[in-house]
Structures are given as structure tokens and as C-alpha cells.
Structure 1
Amino acid sequence: MSEWQPRTGEFRSGALTLRYVEWGPVDAPPVILLHGLRSYAMTWEPTARFFSEDLRLIALDQRGRGDSDWDPACNYYTQAYVDDLEAMVAHLDIDTFVLMGHSLGGTNALAYAARHPEKIRALVIEDIGPGSSIATEGAKRIVHEIESTPTRFDDWDAARQFWRSKRPTISEQALNSRLDYTLKQNDDGSVVWKYDAEGIGRARIELARRPELGVELWPIVEGISCPTLVVRGEHSDFLPRSTAQEMSRRNPRIAWCEVANAGHYVHDDNAVGFLLALDDFFRKLKAAQAV
């Protein structure tokens, strides 16, 4: 099988069966990829294909998304996601790795790194920082989107129009991917969500009402002990530029960059800019660790 072709696997985390996708040589340095709130493992396919010659890239369908089980208890909070990641790392018997996460996945990556600093060679955090999930216009936007999201669409055209209205800057390739992996068609021709939209949405709204259910990120940011890149979209409403700057000021191990022509969904909005930022970081990481 070509290293460009994805391989799938699954493992148990508590009572749930979770699925992951991987690309690249199995003996190459591993990179684990964590998607955002309403996303899925295959959102990382363009990223994984770009780096699959030299790296082993492993993308998790986090609980309730993609082909992973939904949680009957609707436990869609950081502690549960970190437990799932621990189970996958144990299942794959990975010693150390680079960990990358977007939005919710970035929070989960930071929380895991705080618990297991010995495991993390480097971190990449895409468009999230302390306060992002509570005190930004992007946080308000996401809650509004969740509250106003239909449970079904009459057809695929209606579903496409919905996602395009919510992601006006998304590339056509990324939009097609989102349609493929977040929705499915019923026998009557209607289109419904493939992921646990109700349970995940309810947990996200509860977090907005009760911030204490979340994770305080400033102490984690200040305690990071590995090289870290924070990637911000130029037009992000979720990670203020001032927050990215403050993260870097408080911890000299953190570098940050801004990708032009991108909002909160950086890797969907400007894949080329995102990949160039990652490639530069990985090259510097490789050079530093070769010394």
C-alpha cells in the first residue's frame, strides 16, 4: 500500500470503540492529529499527504465523530478526550511524538501535554488559546451556530449551502470533505448528521454557561516544556492576536505565526499557508534535535 493511502484502525477507550486513520511509514517519527469540535479525522488528509513521505501521521476520530462511537453519557469534555488519547497511545505503543490539535483538539493537546510532558516532542496548536472558548466573538459564534443548526436537510444541495454559509472562506476541497464525513443520506433522500450533533452541541453550550467545566489554559501554557508552534488565522475571531503574542511572551518555548487569508479554520481556509508554516516548524525542530 502506498504511504499516501490511509490505513484505518480502532481501539477501546472504556466502553467506546474509537477509530483512527494513519498515513506514512509505520517506523517514521509519529505525529498525532486532533480535530476540532464538529470535525473528523479525515479533515487532516491534505496535511497528512503532504508530510507522509517522512512522518507517520495518525488522526483520531474523537468520540462522537467520524466512525468512532458516540458516548451515551454525552461526556464530551476535556478529561474524556485526554483519556481517549491515552488509550490510543497505549494501543499503538508509541513512546514519544509530536501532538497537533485544532480548536477543541488544541485544548485536548495542551491538556494531554500537561499530563504527559515526557511523551511530547513538540506541540502544534491551531487557533486556540486561553479564553478562546469563553470570551471571544468566535466562541459566541460557535454557540449560535450550534443552537441554529438544523437536524436534517432536504438534500445534499441544502447541506452544502448550510456549510458554505457557516464557512464562507472554506476551500471547495475542504467543503467537499466536510460534506462527506459529517453527513449521511437517509433512505428517504434527506441528509442528516453523521456525528453526535445533539450531544456534542449540548456539552459545548453547557461549557459556555459553566466555564468551570473547562480547563484553565494559562497555567498549562506557562508550563509547556517542549517546542511549540501556535498557528493563528489572520482573520480569526477565536484566537486574538494579542493572546497568541502573550502566550509566546509568557513561555519562550512557544513561537507563533499568522496564516494569511484564513479564519479560525486555518487548515481548511488556506491549506498552502498552513502547510508552509508547519513545514518551517518541522524543519527547525529537526535541525535543533540533530544538534
Structure 2
Amino acid sequence: MIEARIKSVQCISPAGLHQMSYKEWGDEANPHVLICAHGVTRVGDDFDNLARALAGHYRVVAPDVVGRGRSGRLRNPQFYRVPQYVSDMVTLIARVTAQGGSDGVDWFGTSMGGLIGIALASLPDTPVRKLVLNDIGPTLDPAALLRIGDYIGQDLRFPTFDAAARFVREVSQSFGEHSEDEWHKLASDVLRQEPDGQWVRHYDMGLALPFRSSTPASAQADEAMLWAAYDAIRCPTLLVRGEHSDLLSRETAAIMAGRGPCASLVEIANVGHAPTFIHDDQIAIARQFLIGT
């Protein structure tokens, strides 16, 4: 089985320095780089299956966005926002492209990872050459955002791994059908055991602060900025939507297919927010767009 290398890169926020951990798959000298960025409470381990499937063509790099998993935490949680994440990714891309002699990267972003991708791909002289947006767009359902924000901020503690894993499974039903082993991995990737034996989710509870400080006016301004960023994208773009997604509406997806980069649109049946790209049929969608086979 192909195994990943665990590495880290030092990044900076207005509050100071922090480490961002990432998994790297494939030949370290391969100039073809794919960055895979996860959702708001997930981690780079989500892309293990996708990375193994694509590592023959790419050097696949899957970071734990700051505040999650193996990465460090920000000293000021108000900076848990897309501009900080983009800054960190620019640092990561500089590291991995220099390592392999590449002049750019392809990007696969799930949910929050897709928002980072939109912001990064919109910039002049962007390093992003191809962009996959997994169940995310500039207009996001307010009720779904409220649900996610409430979920993030619950400092829950569980007496056993099994109890914690059941909770993760319950709140992740929108991911669609998975085997028992797959649910176990989806849970174990985002759980850690405290010194007192209790199990907690593997992220900084401070992630909830920007959600709580959002207002209708700021949300409207954010949406306008995201649409402006989306319209500035010039690279080939694939938009994947879960059929039952409560975050990305079918109407928004259709609009995205007709403006900006005019994304190719694929809808995955019997899945909500968001497709996991664990299964072969979903991986094939990404492979066809990114590699052409």
C-alpha cells in the first residue's frame, strides 16, 4: 500500500507563527502537484483514498488547515478565516513547488477547502491551474451555515471512542452511504483522546468564533466578495454537488455553470453535504477532470 509522508511548514498570522502539517503522497520530485483541502472540521486524512488513486500521476499534498488535526492553533481565533488560510496555502505551495520544480498546482477543495480554492484561484498570477469545488459556492444556505456553526462550537466530550464515533457518524449522515470500516476511519481521523481518557474532536473550539461574530451585513458582503472572486477565475473548473446538499443549492450550482469560469457541473446521487470521494465512482469523476483518464 502507498503510504504518505507527514511534513509541516511554518506559516504566519498577524498574531504570530504557527505550524501547518500536511501529508504528501507520491514521488517527491514529481512536478505535478495536487493540493487537497478539507472541510471546516475535517482533516487532510479525508483524502487518503483519493491520494492513493492519483499518486501515480501527482504528488498529492493534503494539509490539515491551521486549527485542525496535526497542525498548530492560532493565538487569535478571529483569524480563522479564508484570507488567513489562503496565506498559509501560498506558503505551502511555495514549499512544495520549489521541492519538485513545479510552476503551479491543481486544487481539490471540499466545502471550506473549496472556498480557499476560489479565493486563491481568483488572484492575478495564481498558481492554480485546475480547480475542483466539492459542494461549495459563493451563495451558501443561511440555515445550513447556522447548523454548521452550532456544531463547531459544541465542546463535547465522550467517555469512549465508540460513543464519540457514533456522534461523528450521526452528524455526518449527509456524507452518504459508507461501510462500517469507512465510518470508523471518518471518525478516527477527527477524534483524539485527552490525558483524562475522554475523547474529543481534533480541532480548536475557537473555530466557532468567526461564525458567531457574523452578521447579516457581513454575510452579504462576504457573499459579494466570493462571487467577485469566482467571476475572476480563469482556470478549468469542476463543480461537484451532492444531490441532497443543504449548503449548495441546485440553483446556485446552475448559476456557477453559466458565469465566471463556467464550471462543469456533476451531481452525485444519494449524497448531501458533502461527497467524501472515498469511493471509486466518485474518485473517477475527479480523475477524469484532472487527468483525463
Q: Give per-residue Cα distances to partners, 1:160-192, cap 9 Å, x unaligned.
A: 121121112352344322322222113432112
Q: Please point out which of 95, 110, 120 is paired with 2:118.
A: 110
Q: Give the deviation of 1:261 after TM superposition.
A: 1.9
Q: Where do 1:185-264 residues align within 5 Å?
A: 185-196=193-204, 198-207=205-214, 210-211=218-219, 214=222, 216-251=225-260, 253-264=262-273
In 2, the alpha carbon distance for the partners of 1:117 and 1:36 equals: 25
Question: How far off its partner does 1:250 sit?
Answer: 1.2
Distance 2:56 2:279 in 1: 18
Query: Relative CO higher for 1 or 2, CA cutoff 8 Å, sep ≥ 6?
Result: 2
1:278 and 2:286 are equivalent in the alignment: yes
Amino acid at match of 2:272: G
Whole-angstrom distance in 2 between the partners of 1:218 and 1:173: 39
**Mapped contact 2:35–2:105 kept (Cα < 8 A):** yes
2:183 aligned with 1:175, yes or no? yes
- Whether the 8 Å CA contact 2:41–2:152 is kept in 1: the answer is no
Q: Distance in 2 between matches of 1:55 and 1:208?
A: 41
Cα deviation for residue 137 of structure 1 reads 3.6
1:11 aligns with 2:9: yes
Letter in 1 for 2:108: M
TM-score (norm 1): 0.88
**Aligned-partner Cα distance in 1 for 2:109–2:91:** 17
- Unaligned ranges ≥5, structure 1: 287-291
CA distance in structure 1 between the partners assigned to 2:155 and 2:208 by the alignment = 12
Aligned residues: 278
Whether the 8 Å contact between 1:111 and 1:220 is mirrored in structure 2 is: yes
Q: Is the 8 A contact 1:207 1:213 kept in 2?
A: no
| Mapped contact 2:37–2:110 kept (Cα < 8 A) | yes
TM-score, normalisation: structure 2: 0.87
Deviation at 1:212, TM superposition (A): 6.0
The one-character-per-residue Cα deviations of 1:128-175 (angstroms, maximum 9, x if unpaired) are 11111xx3442232123235x343112112101211211123523443
Aligned-pair Cα RMSD in Å: 2.1
- Find 1:20's aligned residue among 19, 22, 34: 22
Equivalent of residue 89 in structure 2, options 80, 85, 91:
85
Bigger helix fraction: 1
* 2-structure distance, mates of 1:265, 1:153: 25
Following TM superposition, by how much is the alpha carbon of 1:251 offset from its aligned partner in structure 2, in angstroms?
Answer: 3.2
Equivalent residues of 1:40, 1:61 under 8 A apart: yes
Unmatched runs of 5 consecutive residues or more in structure 2: none
1:10 deviation in Å? Answer: 1.0
Which one-letter code corresponds to 1:200 in the other structure? L
Task: Judge conservation of contact 1:35–1:103 (CA < 8 Å) in 2.
Answer: yes
Provide the residue aligned with 1:143 in structure 2.
149
Q: 1:119 to 1:261 in 2, by over 3 A?
A: same
